[in-house]
Every structure is written in structure tokens, then in C-alpha cells.
Structure 1
Amino acid sequence: MRYLLTAILLLFSNTIFAQVQGTTLDEPKDIPSFTLSDHHGTTFTHQDLLQKWTLIMFGFNSCPDVCPFTMRNLESAIAETSLRVRPDSVPQVVFVSVDPDRDRDTVSDYANFFHPDFMGVTGEREQIDQIVEATDSFYRLMPKDDSGFYDVQHSAFVSVIAPNGKMIGRLEPPFHAGKTAEFLARLQITYRRESES
């Protein structure tokens, strides 16, 4: 009986968790000016957030689990979203590496591996920290082991930036494609209504 109850509770919790694909912020968050770039030297600044929807994820290229899981699911979610919103409202996806020492020369290739339109950028620590703090994200570089390798802990959610350049929501794991697309479509409708009122 105890095992049956445990199984039911796990099933129930997983079902509830699967329904939660995003959170709308009570108050939009301003994103300060910043300058990041890919390894080709193409810059990405606050101006690139304006007049379009943007999804920002923080991570690092050698991440073994969270980053590839999220990026793969974002690819599917963007495909689903493109069926529900206007072409000019399909969000751009930006992967920001918080590990520039290792990723500076490869961050764009990493993002493009998951989708050719995904952007991969990084920058100076001060610039990275500004946007991390503004989105209530976090990361921490772990101590190096004897071989010099180190891990990075970081946020698992994805920040949703509206065309006014402000963060208005976040996507939460597990990033189910259909439910994520539904959340983004509804968020865009709400944003347009509030912008027109």
C-alpha cells in the first residue's frame, strides 16, 4: 500500500510539474546596457533585444546535462511556437556562456549545433555579471581539480525578454515543446494587449 501511495504521489507531482512551463513576472525587469560577442567578433547588445522576442539561457559549452537538455528542448519549443505566432514574433534564442575563458572561441558553434539560428555569445566577466544579475540568474565557478578541470553551477531557467527590452517571464524545465509554445503565445497576447491599453 505504501509503495502504491508513493507511486501515485510521484505520478501526480510529475503531472503537475509537466504543466508548469513558465512564469510571468509581476513586474517587468529592466535589462541594463551590455556588450557581448560571438567568436566571430559579432557583438550582441541591449539594442539587439528591442523590437523582437528573445529567450536567454546561461550556461557553458562543456555542461554535461542541463545545457544540452535545455537547448535541444528549446529547438523543439521554437518549432512549435512558430506554428502559433506570427513569423516576426518567433523568439530569437541566445545562449550566454558564463565561462568565457574556455568558451570564447567556440560559443557560437556550440549554439549553432542545436539550431543554425541560435546565437552563442560571451564576454568580459563584468558584462556577463550585469545581465546575469538583471535576470535574477546565477552561476558559480567551482574549484579546479588536480587536472585543472572545473565545473560550473548555473540557473536552469530561460529568461523571456519582450520587444521593449525588459524581462517579463521565464521558462522552467522540463521545457515541453507544446506547453512552452502555448505559454509563449499567451504571454505575447497579454503583452500586446497591455501595450495597446
Structure 2
Amino acid sequence: MNSPAPASRPNVTLLIVLAAVVAAFGLWLGTRYANAPAQPKLASALLYPEPRTIADFALQQANGKPLTPADWRGHWNFVYFGYTTCPDVCPTTLAELKSVWAELGKRGAQDKLRVDFVSVDPERDTADTLAKYVGFFSPDFVAATGSDAELTKLTRSLGIVYSRTKKDDGSIEVDHSGSIVIVDPQGRLVGLFRPPFAAKDLADDMTTLAGWR
């Protein structure tokens, strides 16, 4: 009866190398997830598994100052895209944010947070129009807009979409995403709030984020 041939030395060496690689990968993977900061428990916000880099952009605030990625560093940012002549979702969302902002003031969390309204209708939403519209809801809210080139660059980076269509009667129809984007103090996209919004859930989640990281 023939005995099985012993494994050749090259095959044994290869198996040892493969085992070492698998073990090293498992150690790296375990260390990565062990060191990853645990996400906070939130009522309605959706946080992404990993922060996402935001493309450089240059918009103009209603007060005449520029709005760049640098302005979103140092605090949590909640950014909503819309336009001042929006008949429904924009004023409704800003009204919710007004209530949320008042509640955050009672909780002493406003200094760590910021709300931005970015118009996707730059031709009609002049600086004066934007300032009056957004200021009606809160003088603390930042109002800004910019060229379509800059708006497109930013919205694509944030996963937001918008479009404007000129109708036969000369009116302009604007469509846009309804989510509120969340940008962390490092200026990275980390998540969003999806409609419909509930003021209490927004306030609770924003307060939690203000105390996280």
C-alpha cells in the first residue's frame, strides 16, 4: 500500500504565508472597528458609517461675506437647500427649524450649532431678498447662494439635487431635495435628516450631536 506523498516545502511555506496575511488582516480589521467612535443614539438623524469629504466651494452670504468650507468648521452645521418663493416645504421646514432653534437656546446648545439656508434660485434670490426671508425665521440663520456652477459642485458633493425649469407662461419651477444635511465640526458630511421633520426629534438629535466628539 502506497503512503500519501508529504506536502512539498514550497506548498507548506505558501500556506504559512497565507495564514499570516489572514491573521494580520483580521487583527487590522478588529483594531479599526474597536477604535472607531461609537455613534450616538439619535431619534431621527441618519449618520453615515464614515464621514465624507466635501468638495471646495465658494458661495456668497446675504450679508456680503463669502461662504466657504472654512465657515463650516468648529461647530455642527445643518444645511437646507431651497428658495424664497417656495410655496410649501421651504417655509414649513424653516418654521420647524425656528422652533428647534428656540428650544436649543433654552438648552444652551446654540453656540455649538449653526443653521444654513442655501438658495438654489440665485437669479431671483438676491442678497436683500434672502436676508429678509431667512431673517423672518431667525436672525441667527445663515442665508447664502451662488452661481449654478458652485451650487452644483456643492450639492453633488452633499448628495443633494435641484433643478429649475422655465415654463411656457414664463414662470420658473424649482425642484430640490428636502433633506437637512449634517456637516460636522471638521467640515465633513456625516449624515442628514429626512422629511417629514418633528421639532422635538430635531432638537434632541442636535443637542446630542452638540455634546458628541
Same fold, TM-score > 0.5, yes or no: yes
What RMSD in Å do the two structures reach over aligned CA positions? Answer: 1.9
Q: How far does residue 54 in structure 1 lie from its aligned partner after superposition?
A: 1.0
Q: Deviation digits for residues 47-79 of structure 1, max 9, x if unmatched?
A: 100111111100011000010000000111122
**Aligned partners of 1:77 and 1:176 also within 8 Å:** no
Q: How far does residue 126 in structure 1 lie from its aligned partner after superposition?
A: 1.1
Q: How far does residue 174 in structure 1 lie from its aligned partner after superposition?
A: 2.5
In structure 2, what is the equivalent of residue 172 of structure 1?
194
CA 1:168–1:82: 2 relative to 1, 3 Å: farther
| Secondary structure in 2 matching 1:82 | helix
CA 1:40–1:181: 2 relative to 1, 3 Å: closer
Report 1:102-113 matches (<5 A).
102-105=124-127, 106-113=129-136
Bigger Rg, which one: 2
CA 1:86–1:67: 2 relative to 1, 3 Å: closer
CA 1:99–1:57: 2 relative to 1, 3 Å: same
Q: How far does residue 40 in structure 1 lie from its aligned partner after superposition?
A: 3.9
* Cα distance in 2 for residues equivalent to 1:86 and 1:149: 41
In structure 1, what is the equivalent of residue 204 of structure 2?
182
* Cα distance in 2 for residues equivalent to 1:24 and 1:80: 22
* Cα distance in 2 for residues equivalent to 1:173 and 1:20: 13
| Equivalent residue letter for 2:208 | R
Where structure 1 has 5 or more consecutive residues not aligned to the other structure, the ranges are: 1-18, 193-197
CA 1:85–1:59: 2 relative to 1, 3 Å: same
Say if 2:137 is the partner of 1:149.
no
* Cα distance in 2 for residues equivalent to 1:109 and 1:62: 12
CA 1:168–1:144: 2 relative to 1, 3 Å: same
Say if 2:72 is the partner of 1:43.
no
In structure 2, what is the equivalent of residue 26 of structure 1?
49
In structure 1, what is the equivalent of residue 98 of structure 2?
75
In structure 2, what is the equivalent of residue 14 of structure 1?
none
| Equivalent residue letter for 1:56 | V
| Equivalent residue letter for 1:150 | I
* Cα distance in 1 for residues equivalent to 2:102 and 2:157: 28
* Cα distance in 1 for residues equivalent to 2:209 and 2:74: 16
Q: How far does residue 163 in structure 1 lie from its aligned partner after superposition?
A: 0.5
**Aligned partners of 2:43 and 2:204 also within 8 Å:** no
* Cα distance in 2 for residues equivalent to 1:85 and 1:53: 14
- Identity within the alignment, %: 35
Where structure 2 has 5 or more consecutive residues not aligned to the other structure, the ranges are: 1-41
In structure 2, what is the equivalent of residue 6 of structure 1?
none
Task: Report the count of equivalent residues.
Answer: 171
In structure 2, what is the equivalent of residue 93 of structure 1?
115
Say if 2:144 is the partner of 1:121.
yes
Normalising by structure 1, we get a TM-score of 0.80
**Aligned partners of 1:21 and 1:173 also within 8 Å:** no
Q: How far does residue 20 in structure 1 lie from its aligned partner after superposition?
A: 6.0
- Which among 154, 157, 161 is matched to residue 138 of structure 1? 161
Say if 2:184 is the partner of 1:162.
yes
CA 1:45–1:80: 2 relative to 1, 3 Å: same
